[in-house]
């Protein structure tokens, strides 16, 4: 079944604990945590101290998406704050393999992301190391954008790579996912759907999550 990972970037930060409890009781399995540094992407969000406060409140899978340059510098902090999955960007790490290996050495899941215009062929080299591959379906940096249709081919590529290499990594699609395009994205091979605005801007979180599956 498709896993839903609501992105707290679109939540009401003044009531973050309640927002997380609400998406959990609405049936979301993962919590997507977008960390932005204002350098790799043109936006700043929040860091480990913010989601560390949520860790004691719920047992959801913390799916931490690092949009920061040279993420290896902060892996210890993000693990200590309670991450279960850490995603780093291919474009942001000078030593991608070393970064993924370092994440795995901490006993959590390692995931690699590519931006919409990055060739998915770069993923081949890391298929053996990835517990998850994140395909950006918008340019990283902001919630509330429209899915770029061409990125569905990148999901398809990751899916064919998984088959070809007999790998077990999950495929996560991130950006602009709505009830209207969720079917296409899932059919292309995505197992985990990130949903920021389509969940947190909805009146009824459960109806919004159900509509994505």
List active site positions: 34, 174
| Coil, strand or helix at 115 | coil
CB of 21 to Zn ion, least distance (A): 21
- Which of the stretches 10-18, 58-66, 162-170, 185-193 binds Zn ion when contact is defined by CB under 5 A? 58-66
Strand 30-36 versus strand 132-136 pairing type: unpaired
Q: How many CA atoms lie within 13 A of 29 on its CB side?
A: 10
CB atoms within 10 A of CB 211: 16
19 lies in the binding site for Zn ion (CB under 5 A): no
How far is it, in rounded angstroms, from Cα 160 to Cα 168?
Answer: 12
How far is it, in rounded angstroms, from Cα 36 to Cα 8?
Answer: 13
Q: By CB under 6 A, how many residues form the interface with ligand DX5?
A: 21
Residue 145-164 contact track with ligand DX5, rule CB under 6 A, x = bound: x-------------------
Which of residues 19, 143, 171, 172 is near ligand DX5 by CB under 6 A? 143
Closer of 84 and 145 to ligand DX5 (Cβ) = 145
- Which of the stretches 18-26, 30-38, 76-84, 141-149 binds Zn ion when contact is defined by CB under 5 A? 30-38
Q: 91 near 59, Cβ under 8 Å?
A: no
| The pair of three-digit structure tokens given for residue 106, joined into one six-digit string | 């901490």
Find tokens 């081949």 and name the residue: 124
Which of residues 65, 89, 115, 162 is near ligand DX5 by CB under 6 A? 65
Which of residues 71, 120, 189, 196 is near ligand DX5 by CB under 6 A? 196
Using CB under 6 A as the binding rule, the residues of this chain from 74 to 103 that contact ligand DX5 are: none
How far is it, in rounded angstroms, from Cα 130 to Cα 112?
Answer: 7
Which of residues 64, 173, 182, 195 is near ligand DX5 by CB under 6 A? 195
Distance set, CA 40 to CA 77, 88, 111, 190, 210 (Å): 19, 11, 17, 25, 33
Q: 156 near 123, Cβ under 8 Å?
A: no
Q: 14 near 41, Cβ under 8 Å?
A: no
CB of 48 to ligand DX5, least distance (A): 17
Residue 167-186 contact track with Zn ion, rule CB under 5 A, x = bound: -------x------------
CB of 60 to Zn ion, least distance (A): 15
Residues found near ligand DX5 in the complex (CB under 6 A): 7, 9-10, 32, 34, 65, 138, 140-141, 143-145, 174-177, 194-198
């Amino acid at each position: 079944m498709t896993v839903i990972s609501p992105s707290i970037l679109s939540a009401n930060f003044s009531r973050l604990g309640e927002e997380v409890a609400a998406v959990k009781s609405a049936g979301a399995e993962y919590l997507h945590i977008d960390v932005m540094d204002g350098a790799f992407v043109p936006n700043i969000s929040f860091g480990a101290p913010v989601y560390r406060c949520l860790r004691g409140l719920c047992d959801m899978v913390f799916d931490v998406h690092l949009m920061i340059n040279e993420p290896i510098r902060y892996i210890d902090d993000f693990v200590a704050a309670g991450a279960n999955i850490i995603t780093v960007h291919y474009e942001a790490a000078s030593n991608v393999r070393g970064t993924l290996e370092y994440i795995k050495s901490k006993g959590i899941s390692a995931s690699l992301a590519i931006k919409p215009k990055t060739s998915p062929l770069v993923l081949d080299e890391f298929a053996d190391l990835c517990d998850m591959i994140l395909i950006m379906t918008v340019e990283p940096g902001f919630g509330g954008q429209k899915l770029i249709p061409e990125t569905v081919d990148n999901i398809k590529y990751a899916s064919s790579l998984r088959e070809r290499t007999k790998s077990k990594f999950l495929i996560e699609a991130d950006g602009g996912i709505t009830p209207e395009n969720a079917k296409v994205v899932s059919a292309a091979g995505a197992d985990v759907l990130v949903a920021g605005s389509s969940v947190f801007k909805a009146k009824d979180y459960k109806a919004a999550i159900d509509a994505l599956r």
